[in-house]
Structure formats: C-alpha cells, structure tokens
Amino acid sequence: MSTVINLTPHAIHLLDASDVIVATFEPSGTVARVMEETSVIGQVVVNGIPVDRVVTIYGDVYNMPEEAGEDTYYLVSALVVQAAIRLGLPTHDLIMPTDTVRDDRGRVIGCRRFAAALQG
C-alpha cells in the first residue's frame, strides 16, 4: 500500500466514482510552498476606485522534505509542482489533486485522482 504525505494546509478527500469519500489525507504539519515576490506595475480604476495591477514572480520551493522512499508520495499544490519542474527538482514523488469535485456552491469537496508531476 502506498503512503501519501499531505504537504498542503488542508485535508484532501479522495472520492470514488460515486463521489463518496474513500480516504482523507490530513495535513502533515509541513506545508510546501513557493516563494513569491509581488510588485505593483500600475493601477486599474473600477467604479472610481484605483485597484493595483501587480505581477508576481515565483521563486524557490521551501519546506520540501528529502525525496520520499519507494511507494511514498508527497501531496502538494499544482503551484509547487510547477515550481519544482521549473527548478529541475526531483518530482517523481510529487502528486497533486486532479479531477476535483465541487458542491452546489462551487467549493471543492475532494478529488477522484492524483496527477503525476512529469517533467517535460
């Protein structure tokens, strides 16, 4: 059986084809994140109110543990996966939620599958 370590700040529910929760991955206490730097590049005026226009540059990944052992995976956000690929970090042990299911209010209640982090 595989081990999945959740490196996000919230529980991730795995759903079956009938949208029944079959597993819940609670946060591990470590959250993998991507460093970001945001700069104001201008403004947009909406209903007379100036709203900043910004650009965000994403940097290094932090709080990533050492590579996982065999049949162990780190559950991370898509942003972490994209940054890891861009930085040339190992990604064979990274997975992210995909095929998400939303409730009638549009909130994500879980996912049916995990996407692999393949480098191109």
Supply 102's token pair: 């939303």
Write the Ramachandran bin of 7: left for phi over 0, alpha for psi from -120 to 50, otherwise beta. alpha
- Please check the confidence at residue 120 and state whether its pLDDT lies above 80: no
Q: pTM for the complete prediction?
A: 0.84
Calculate what percentage of the chain has a pLDDT beyond 70. 98
Which pair of structure tokens corresponds to residue 9?
Answer: 């700040």
> In this model, does residue 5 exceed pLDDT 80?
yes
| 83 neighbors 76 (Cβ within 8 angstroms) | no
The CA distance from 25 to 106, in Å, is 21
- Distances 105 to 12, 24, 46, 82, 101 between C-alpha atoms, Å: 18, 21, 27, 28, 11
Over residues 87-115, the mean pLDDT reads 94
- 119 pLDDT more than 70: no
- Kind and range of the H or E element at 10? none
Query: Where are the chain's structural domains?
Result: 3-33+63-116
pLDDT at 7 over 90: yes
The per-residue pLDDT for 68 is: 80
Q: What is the mean pLDDT of the chain?
A: 93
Q: What digits encode the pLDDT tens for the residues 16-75?
A: 999 999 999 999 999 999 999 999 999 999 999 999 999 999 999 999 888 888 899 999
CA–CA distance, 67 with 78 (Å, rounded to integer): 18
